[in-house]
Homo-oligomer: A and B are copies of this chain.
Amino acid sequence: MKEKGLLIVLSGPSGVGKGTVRKAVFSRPDAQFEYSISATTRSPREGEVDGVDYFFKSKEEFKQMIQDGKLLEYAEYVGNYYGTPLDYVNETLNSGKDVFLEIEVQGAKQVREKIPDGLFIFLMPPSLNELQSRIVGRGTESVELIHNRMEAARREIELMSLYDYIVENDDVEKAVDRINAIVQAEHFRSERIAGKYIKMLEVEK
């Protein structure tokens, strides 16, 4: 019997660079994760393919998925819904592959409730000053908005002890190395694999 895959959840305060790190994780030639494709109600942009970039849904379909418990997590941004389809995640895990989710802190909280044995990694800015520089660096936000985002980030960071691991994003490639070591190690945790070896002993008795 194949071992079940790991659900890896990468989250962290907005502005920390989750998307950049996720892309760098998948750009490694030895990346062995499946990327979880999100469902969304927003319209496809040019070149985006249904079932590849997103599962594109109407608002009615999306609300039905929520009602039917078909979403591992979801959120609303600027009038559109975004969510993680549960079936796709479960099928991939059952086929023995690891699934990689990069989501907001609120979504990660929902996932933890549904899949407590997932592997939760919190991406951490090297410092709050550095996070502020990154947010300011985008150059599009007003002083008030920056203040609000920093307060939100502080509240998000305070949730970090709910995660299994904390990875500093001082350098994208280093962060990827750390994530890869964590995923490799996690496959050897005895609570995940002792059962397999106990079966082996029984067979060989």
Secondary structure at chain A's binding surface: helix, strand, loop or mixed? helix
Interface 1/0s, chain A 72-102, versus B by CB < 8 A?
0000000000000000000000000000000
User: Which of these binds chain B: A32-40, A55-63, A188-196?
Assistant: A188-196
Q: How far is the CB of A167 from chain B (nearest CB, A)?
A: 6
Residues from 15 to 36 in A contacting B, C-beta threshold 8 Å: none
Task: Say whether B178 contacts A164, CB under 8 Å.
Answer: no
Number of copies of chain A assembled together? 2
Which residues of A approach B to under 8 Å, CB–CB? 122, 124, 127-129, 154, 157-158, 160-161, 163-167, 178, 181-182, 184-186, 188-191, 193-194, 197-198, 200-201, 204
> Chain B's nearest CB lies how many Å from the CB of A169?
12
Alpha-carbon distance A186/B182, docked complex (angstroms): 8
Q: Considering only CB atoms, which chain B residue lies closest to A167 in the complex? A: B188
Chain B residues positioned under 8 Å from A129 (CB to CB) = 204
**Within the complex, what minimum Cβ distance (angstroms) separates A182 from chain B?**
4
